[in-house]
Amino acid sequence: MKIEKLTDNKIRVIINLEDLKKNNLDFNTIMEKPIESQKLFLEMLLKAEKEVGFYTEG
């Protein structure tokens, strides 16, 4: 997973197949069952906070 801070309120996240496999996800699961992809989303936010200082509210 690669995270790049574009602005104070915008990031770019690049997810590779290894990240998806680690979270037992594929493209169809993400599109059809978004609740199952929530763990990956939260992981992305935590990593963005640690690596590039991107903080969210709420």
Per-position DSSP letters for 1-50, written without gaps between them: -EEEEEETTEEEEE--HHHHHHTT--HHHHHH-GGGGHHHHHHHHHHHHH
In a domain, 57, yes or no: no
Residue 7: inside a domain: yes
Q: Average pLDDT across each block of 10 residues of the chain; the chain has 58 residues. List them in order.
A: 94 92 88 86 93 88
Q: How many domains, the chain?
A: 1
Q: Which residue segment(s) compose the domain that 27 sits in?
A: 2-52
Q: What is the pTM of this model?
A: 0.77
So what's the pLDDT on residue 27?
Answer: 84
* Domain membership flag for residue 58: no
